[in-house]
Amino acid sequence: MANVTVIGAQWGDEGKGKVVDWLASRADLVVRFQGGHNAGHTLVVGNQTYKLSLLPSGLVRGKLGIIGNGVVVDPEALLAEIDRLRAQGLTITPDTLRIAENAVLILPVHGAIDRAREAARGDRKIGTTGRGIGPAYEDKVARRAIRVCDLAEPETLSDKLDELLLHHNTLLAGLGAPIFDKQTLLDQLLALAPQILPYAEAVWERLDEARRAGKRILFEGAQAVMLDVDHGTYPYVTSSNTVAATAASGSGAGPASVGFVLGIAKAYCTRVGSGPFPTELHDDTGRLLGERGREFGTVTGRPRRCGWFDAALVRQAVKVGGINGIAMTKIDVLDGLPELNICTGYRIKGEIFHRLPAGMQSQAAAEPIYETLPGWSGTTRGARSWGQLPAEAIKYIRRIEELVEAPVTLLSNGPDRDETILMKDPFEG
């Protein structure tokens, strides 16, 4: 049996939470390997809805959850999420959740920097959540970050805060924002230490033991390939690498552990925040997709921008993300539409492109080239096999497979766990 890595194949919000939850029944442990609490996964189980930001989705299935070293962790947000999900009946203890001891912490100063800089950008806002994810990753690269393991060493913590605040308070003062007091931050971290440290360990050792024991590992990504800091629509991206290769570096599991890479893609396309979106719809169809799909950010509550499926974009994600198969979600949202458009490329200043160029001006100028297919009058809801889908829905999916150069191996036709059609079990490799 292979391991499975789940990543987004568009701009995030594709329904990864449901897919990870569904696949977790076949896994032994679930690992988050990048991002922070700017990510959001919604899981619907019967009449219960779980909203997760930092916690691995497998916890809802009773599986061991691991937060890898590639994740930046806001300790207060994590503890609040644990309390909220415990109140919903989930068991979350150091026996069911482990956190990499070398994971970087998000501090209140990071959120303050994030919001102050975004405000200073004015009309050129990136659209961050303002939760400090980017500044925390900056500190990691600048080698001044405070990590989970530092909570066990008060002297180390004190020394690191000196360097960290020297940088951030200078920047905050320049932006006209309040600065932070070292002793206040130190006291807050020392108070959080006994609540966080029981979860901490060298998770790379646990993952190595799991690999040697033949256990199945499900790696859970956040955001999506087109928000990758290297490969996405820069600078309107997240602050981490979201491609499948990060599952190895963000957990310490090694590249051979990544296994089958499942890319999640909606049957249409959405985006939250700023940045290019060639297939965005500003008409009644766009509003209809948003209403039917309940397109609001899990973390921010912001309405998502909606548009037609962008096959050129997803093909690009397949190539750079290492995707072996597609899990297509929300096919039911398209039920009853008379016709559907699929973007096959772009026209940019008179030139044809079959990829989205890296330059900001070229991305902003990209006009979609559409192929139009007939919609279907029947419904995809209730289908439990490929043969029960409307014929035109099957044609739509088959055409997307051809254009993105990857097979659709799993189809989600509703929010509930059972509204899933499996063509190939990713754990079979």
DSSP string, 164-196: HHHHHHHHHHHTT-----HHHHHHHHHHHHHHH
The dihedral of CA 193, 139, 132, 158: what is its sign? positive
Three-state DSSP class for 157? helix
Sequence-distant (≥ 6) Cβ neighbours of residue 1 within 8 angstroms: 214, 216, 427, 428, 429
Q: How many other β-carbons are positioned within 10 Å of the β-carbon of residue 3? A: 26
Q: Which long-range contacts (CB under 8 A, 24 or more apart) does 424-427 make?
A: 424/325, 425/26, 426/2, 426/4, 426/23, 426/259, 426/260, 426/262, 426/324, 426/325, 427/1, 427/2, 427/3, 427/4, 427/23, 427/26, 427/27, 427/216, 427/260
Instruction: Answer yes or no: 13 catalytic.
Output: yes
Q: How far apart are CA 400 and CA 402, in angstroms?
A: 5
Based on the residue annotation, tell me whether 41 is a catalytic residue of this protein: yes
Exactly one of 37, 41, 168, 231 is catalytic; name it: 41
| CA separation for the pair 43, 51 (Å, rounded) | 6
Of 13, 114, 228, 310, the catalytic one is 13
Residue among 133, 94, 110 nearest 189 (CA):
110
Question: Which stretches does DSSP call E strand in 349-399?
Answer: 351-353, 367-374
Cβ neighbours, 10 Å, residue 156: 14
**For residue 8, what are the β-bridge partners?**
264
- From the number of C-beta atoms within 10 Å of its C-beta (0-12, 13-18, 19+), residue 201 rates as middle
Output b/e per residue, 308-322; b: 16+ Cβ within 10 A.
bbbbbbbbbbbebbb
Q: d(Cα 172, Cα 179) in Å, to the nearest integer?
A: 6
Catalytically active residues are: 13, 41
